[in-house]
Chain A
Amino acid sequence: MRIVRAVNHYIVWCLFLSFAYGGLWNMPYEKGESATNTLFSTFSVAPKHLDPVRSYSANEWAIIGQIYEPPLQYNYVDRPYRLEPLTLMRMPEVTYLDENGTLCDENSTRVAYSRYHLQLRPDIRYQDHPAFVKHSDGTLYYGKLQPSLLSSISSVWDLPKRASREVRAEDYAYAIKRMAVRAYHSPVLDTMRPYIVGLDSFSKQISQIAQIKHQAHRPLDLRAYTIEGVKVTGKRSLEITIHGKYPQFLYWLAMNFFAPIPWEADLFYQQEGLRAKNISLDTSPVGSGPYYLALSDPNRKMILKRNRHFHTEYYPGMEKTELNRLPFIDRVVYTLEKESIPMWNKFLQGYYDASGISSEAFDQAVEIGSSGSMGLSDTMKRKGIRMIGSVEPSIFYMAFNMEDPVVGGYSESAKKLRQAISIVQDQEEYISIFMNERGVAAQGPIPPGIFGYVLGEAGTNRVVYDWVNGKRVRKSLAYAKRLLAEAGYPDGIDPQTKKRLKLYYDTTATGPDDRALMDWRRKQFAKLGIDLVIRATDYNRFQDKVRRGKVQIFSWGWNADYPDPENFLFLLYGGNAVVDTGGAGINSSNYKNPVFDRLFEEVKSMENTPQRAKKIVRMVHIAQEDAPWVWGVYPKSLVLVHHWFTQVLPHAMANNTLKYKCIDPKERVAKQQMWNQPVYLPLLIIGGAILLLGWWLYKLYEKRQRRTIRERR
C-alpha cells in the first residue's frame, strides 16, 4: 500500500513538472518569456566598464553600443563600410583654417586646423532615468540621496521617479571633457590629445582639479570648464577643432567615446553612497539609443529594454513605414556563459538565438568539402540553422624584431633570411590545422574590406607566392633554401658557429594545448635547417620583452578600430616603433623604412582617392619586400543563427546593429516545444529501480533479523 502511494506521489510530481514551464522542464527562462519579442544571447566575460569614455572591449561595446549614440554610425547594409549621421542632421561639415584662423582650401599647404561642424537632430532624447528628475529650481531631485533611501535600493530602477530630456550639443562637449580627466582612464585620451585643440592643456588642468575635488569629497561638475577646440555654438550645434588634417577623425565620431553624457547623470553617479553599491556610469549607463540597461548584473545577466524615447529611424534602404521602424526587438537578455559546452547545447535546444562555433562543436556544426569550402552539417541544416561568415578586419602575424642583429636590419642578407622564413611558414596548413579553415592567408598588412586591399594576382605577395593558373602558389622550398644560402646560411648552417642557425621564438603559449602549435612552428623552421628555440613566458614578461626589444621572433595581432588603411599601416610606421617610444608605440617589430614612413605621412591624411590607393600599394610592396612580418592570417568569423532570427548581417565595425535585427518568437516557441519534450521513461525506470532497491534492502534486513533470532534459539 505504501509503495502504491509513493508511486502515485511520484507520478503526480512528474505531471506537475510537465505543466509548469509550458511543458518544458529544461526551459532556462521564466514561463512565457520565450514567446515575447526577446532576443536571447550570451556573454562569456563579465563586462567591467560600461562608461563610454572608459570602455574599450568588444564584449562591453556589444552592450553599450545599443545604449549610447555617438554622432555618426556605420551604414548597416552598405559595403565597403560607410559612415552616416546617427544623431546629426547631416554628416559633419569640415572647414580648414590656417595658423591665423582664416579659412583656406582643403588642399592648401597652409591648413593648420580642421573644424568639424556638428548639427544635432531635434528629436534625440535620453532614456527615462532618475538623474533627470529635478526640483523646480533645476537642482537634481536625487542629487543628495539620504542613507535611508540608499539602504533600500540595489539599482537605479528602485528609485521611483524618472524623467527624460532632449540630447543637447553641450552633452557631447561634456563627454569630451570627461575624456580629458585622467582619473576616468579614457584609453583614447592620449590618442586625441595631439589632435583636439586645447585638449592637452585642459586635461592637465582638469585632472588636477578632479584630484582636489576627489580628496575633498566634492563632485566635479565639468560644465564650468571649457576646451578651446570644443565649442558649443547653439543648443544643437557644436564645433570641434583639430590640429592639421585628420580625416580619420570621422571614424572616431562613430565610437562610444564621443557619445553624449548628460551632466545630470555624471553628478548623480558621483554620490558616494551609489558608488558603494556599485551603481555608477560603469554599471548603469544613461543613453539615447534604442535600448536602455534594465538589469545590470555582470556576473549573471544583462537585460536591455526598448527605450520609449528612441528617435525615428528606419531600416536602411527600406520604405519609411511603421513596419520598418527600428528597433524590431523589444528586449534582449544576455546571460553569462563561461563554458562553451552548455552554451552550445542551449543553442541547439533553441534557447539561444545565435552562437559562435567553439572548437569542440566545430565538427558537429561544419563540414569541410574536398575543395576546402565550408558548409553546415546536415544536423544543423535539419534544424534550420544558418551560417553567417565574414573575414574580419584583423590580422595575426609573426613579427621579426628589426633591431635584432640576426633577423633584423635592412641589409640584403637579413632581408633574404626573413623572406626565406616567410616562404616556409605554410599559413594554409596552419589555417587548416589550427583554425578549422577559419582564416585567409594574409598577403600584406591590410585585410579584405579595407581600402587599399587588392584582390587576386595584383594583391599577391610576390615574395612568398607565385601566381599560377589563376591561383596563388607558395614558392618552393628549394627557392627558400636558395634565398637562405644567399643570406649567408647555406642549408641553415650559421657560418660563425658552423652549426645549425638557432633562432628564438617568444610566446605566451605555455599550456599543454599549445604544444602541437609549437611543434608545428619548429617544423616550419626545420624545413630550412634552422633550429627554433621556443621561449615560453607569461604575458607580462612577454609584453615587457617586446617593449624593450628583447625578442627575436614573436606572434602578435591587430583588430581594426576603424576601416581605414592608416589603422593598419601605422603598425609599421617608424615613428611608432615600440623601443624608440619607450614602450608606448604600436610598431612592435620596430620596422623603420624611410620611404615607407614618408608615404605613410602622405597617405594618412588623404581621402580615399586613386592616388591614395596607388601610394598604399607601393607601401605594401615595400613592406612585403622587407618582410618585417610573416604576414600570417586574416581571421574569419562564423556565426550560427536559428531561422527565426533574421536580418543578421556581419558587420565588423558597427556596434549598434541590434536595432536592425528581427525575431519570430512564435516560430521559436514551436521549435523549442518540438526539440525539448521531456523523456519520461527513464524517470519511471529510475523511480521504479529506487523503490525496488529499497524494497529488496528491507527484505534483506528483515531476513537477517529473523536469522539472528533463529540462531539465538
Chain B
Amino acid sequence: MFIYILRRILYAVPILIGVNLITFMLFFMVNSPDDMARVQLGAKQVTPQMIEAWKVERGYDKPLFYNAEASGVEKVTKTLFVQESSKLFRFDFGRSDANRDIKEDIKARMGPSLAIALPTFLIALVTNISLALLLVLFRGTVLDTTAMVIAVMIMSVSGLFYIIAGQVLFSKIWHWVPISGYAEGWEGIRFIILPVLIGVFSGLGSGVRWYRSIFLEQINQDYVRTARAKGLSEVRVLFSHVLKNGMLPILTGVVVIIPSLFMGSLIMESFFGIPGLGSYTIDAIHAQDFAIVKAMVFLGSVLYIVGLILTDISYTLFDPRVKL
C-alpha cells in the first residue's frame, strides 16, 4: 500500500503543476499586475510610482513565464510562475496582496467552516442512509412513492430559498435561533443549528434518492435472499447485509468529499455570518488578490487528490478483494 500511496503522490506533482499553470494563465489573462495594484492600493488617484512600488514589493515586476533579460536557466526560474509555484509546493503561501499571512488566515477560517460542514456532512450521511433504507424497507408502497415525490420537490428548489425561508421561519417568525452569527465553543452551537438543519434538509432529496438506488441494486442479490432464507428480520437484512455491501459505491462519492469540507460553503457562510473559508477565494477573486487565489486553488487541488487517495484506501477496508 505504501508503494501505491507514494506512486499516487508522485502522480500528483504534474497534476498540481498543471493546475497551477492554468490558474496563472487564466488569472493574468483577465487581470494585469497594474490592475491588481490599482485595486489593492484603493486610492482615488493612483500614480505610476505607487503602482511600480507595489509591483516590486509583491514580485509582480517579474515576467510571468519567460524572463528574456535573464541568462541560462534563470530565463525560466526568474519568473513569477516558477518562483511562486515553488513556494506553493513547500506550502509557503506567503502574504496576501492585502499584506496578511495566508496560512494564518486559512488556519483561522478552517475551524468555522468545519463547524458547519462536518456536522452537516455527518448528520446528512446518517439521515440520508437511514431514510433510504427505510424507503427500501417499504419499497413499492405509498410511503415510498410519496417520499420520492417529496425528494424530487426538495431537489427542485434552490438552496438559497431554504436559507432565506429557514431564517424567516425559524428566526424571524418563531424566534427559535439567531438569524446569523458565530461564536467559538459551546456558545456557538445555537448559531450552527439552523445552517446545519438547512444544509441537511436541502441535500435530503438528492441524497435519499441516490442511496435508495444503491440499496435497491443490492436488495435483489442472491446474498440478500440467502439472508432472508436464514430467517433474518428485514431490518437485520438491510443494516447488516445490504448496507455493508452498498458501502463501496457510497465510499466513492463520500470519502472524496471529506478533505474538501475544510473549504467551506460560500452561500451558507455568507448568509449565516460564518467566518469560514467559503468566501475566501471568491472575495480574493473580486479583490484581484492573486496570492490568495493561487494558494486556495492549490490547496483545493491537494485536498481533492488526498480525497481520491483516501477513497482508494477505504475500498480495502470494506472490500477484502481490493488490494493496493
With A and B bound together, what is the CA distance between A191 and B47 in angstroms?
10
- What 1/0 flags go to B118-150 for Cβ under 8 Å of A? 000000000000000010011000010000000
* A584 partner, pick from B48, B109, B180, beta carbons under 8 A: B48
Query: Which of B79-87, B98-106, B244-252 is near enough to bind chain A?
Result: B98-106
By a CB distance below 8 angstroms, the chain A residues around B38 are: 543
Please report which residues of chain A, range 175-219, place their CB below 8 angstroms from some CB of chain B when the two chains form the complex.
182-183, 185, 187-191, 207
Please report which residues of chain B, range 126-181, place their CB below 8 angstroms from some CB of chain A when the two chains form the complex.
134, 137-138, 143, 164, 167-168, 171-181
With A and B bound together, what is the CA distance between A697 and B272 in angstroms?
35
* A278 partner, pick from B41, B49, B104, B179, beta carbons under 8 A: B104
**B-side interface size class:** 35 or more
A33 to chain B, nearest CB (A): 11
**A-side interface size class:** 35 or more
Given A185-B41, A540-B35, verify A679-B173 contact (CB < 8 Å).
yes
Task: Tell whether, in the assembled complex, residue B179 and residue A26 are in contact, meaning their CB atoms are under 8 Å apart.
Answer: yes
Task: Tell whether, in the assembled complex, residue A28 and residue B101 are in contact, meaning their CB atoms are under 8 Å apart.
Answer: no
With A and B bound together, what is the CA distance between A373 and B275 in angstroms?
40
B171 to chain A, nearest CB (A): 5
Task: Tell whether, in the assembled complex, residue B143 and residue A342 are in contact, meaning their CB atoms are under 8 Å apart.
Answer: no
Task: Tell whether, in the assembled complex, residue B45 and residue A584 are in contact, meaning their CB atoms are under 8 Å apart.
Answer: yes
By a CB distance below 8 angstroms, the chain B residues around A277 are: 101, 104
* B138 partner, pick from A275, A338, A585, A700, beta carbons under 8 A: A700
* A700 partner, pick from B30, B98, B143, B191, beta carbons under 8 A: B143
- Is the C-beta of B233 less than 8 angstroms from some C-beta in chain A? yes
Query: Which of B17-25, B50-58, B305-313, B314-322 is near enough to bind chain A?
Result: B50-58
* A300 partner, pick from B101, B234, B275, beta carbons under 8 A: B275
By a CB distance below 8 angstroms, the chain B residues around A705 are: 233-234
Task: Tell whether, in the assembled complex, residue A28 and residue B104 are in contact, meaning their CB atoms are under 8 Å apart.
Answer: no
- Is the C-beta of A317 less than 8 angstroms from some C-beta in chain B? no
Interface SS of chain B: helix, strand, loop or mixed? Answer: helix
With A and B bound together, what is the CA distance between A297 and B108 in angstroms?
10
Task: Tell whether, in the assembled complex, residue A586 and residue B45 are in contact, meaning their CB atoms are under 8 Å apart.
Answer: yes
- Is the C-beta of B279 less than 8 angstroms from some C-beta in chain A? yes
Please report which residues of chain A, range 3-27, place their CB below 8 angstroms from some CB of chain B when the two chains form the complex.
21, 24-27
Task: Tell whether, in the assembled complex, residue A189 and residue B50 are in contact, meaning their CB atoms are under 8 Å apart.
Answer: yes
Interface SS of chain A: helix, strand, loop or mixed? Answer: loop
Please report which residues of chain A, range 333-374, place their CB below 8 angstroms from some CB of chain B when the two chains form the complex.
335-339, 341-342, 345-346, 348-349
- Is the C-beta of B62 less than 8 angstroms from some C-beta in chain A? no
Task: Tell whether, in the assembled complex, residue A339 and residue B270 are in contact, meaning their CB atoms are under 8 Å apart.
Answer: yes
- Is the C-beta of A57 less than 8 angstroms from some C-beta in chain B? yes
- Is the C-beta of A677 less than 8 angstroms from some C-beta in chain B? yes
- Is the C-beta of A470 less than 8 angstroms from some C-beta in chain B? no
B109, closest chain A residue (CB): A299
- Is the C-beta of B42 less than 8 angstroms from some C-beta in chain A? yes
Task: Tell whether, in the assembled complex, residue A182 and residue B100 are in contact, meaning their CB atoms are under 8 Å apart.
Answer: no
- Is the C-beta of A405 less than 8 angstroms from some C-beta in chain B? no
Task: Tell whether, in the assembled complex, residue B32 and residue A297 are in contact, meaning their CB atoms are under 8 Å apart.
Answer: no
With A and B bound together, what is the CA distance between A161 and B235 in angstroms?
64
Task: Tell whether, in the assembled complex, residue B172 and residue A187 are in contact, meaning their CB atoms are under 8 Å apart.
Answer: no
Please report which residues of chain A, range 292-324, place their CB below 8 angstroms from some CB of chain B when the two chains form the complex.
297, 299-300
- Is the C-beta of A683 less than 8 angstroms from some C-beta in chain B? yes
Task: Tell whether, in the assembled complex, residue B53 and residue A582 are in contact, meaning their CB atoms are under 8 Å apart.
Answer: no
Task: Tell whether, in the assembled complex, residue A187 and residue B175 are in contact, meaning their CB atoms are under 8 Å apart.
Answer: no
- Is the C-beta of A676 less than 8 angstroms from some C-beta in chain B? yes
Please report which residues of chain B, range 263-300, place their CB below 8 angstroms from some CB of chain A when the two chains form the complex.
270-273, 275, 279, 283, 288
A544, closest chain B residue (CB): B35
A713 to chain B, nearest CB (A): 14
With A and B bound together, what is the CA distance between A275 and B104 in angstroms?
10
Task: Tell whether, in the assembled complex, residue A25 and residue B190 are in contact, meaning their CB atoms are under 8 Å apart.
Answer: yes
B176, closest chain A residue (CB): A25
With A and B bound together, what is the CA distance between A341 and B267 in angstroms?
13
Which B residues are closer than 8 A to A by beta carbons? 30-32, 35, 38, 41-50, 53-54, 57, 98-101, 104-105, 108-109, 112, 134, 137-138, 143, 164, 167-168, 171-183, 187, 190-191, 233-235, 270-273, 275, 279, 283, 288
- Rank and list the top 7 A-B pairs by shortest CB-CB distance, nearest first: A187-B43, A300-B275, A540-B35, A28-B178, A299-B275, A28-B181, A342-B180
Which A residues are closer than 8 A to B by beta carbons? 21, 24-28, 30, 46, 48-49, 56-57, 182-183, 185, 187-191, 207, 275-278, 280, 282-283, 297, 299-300, 335-339, 341-342, 345-346, 348-349, 538, 540, 543-544, 561, 582-586, 676-679, 682-683, 697, 700-701, 704-705, 708
**Extra pairs beyond A25-B175, A278-B105, A348-B172 (4, CB < 8 Å):** A276-B101, A283-B100, A338-B271, A349-B171
14 A-B contacts, Cβ less than 8 Å apart? A48-B98, A49-B98, A56-B43, A182-B53, A276-B101, A300-B112, A335-B181, A337-B273, A349-B175, A540-B32, A543-B38, A584-B46, A679-B174, A683-B176
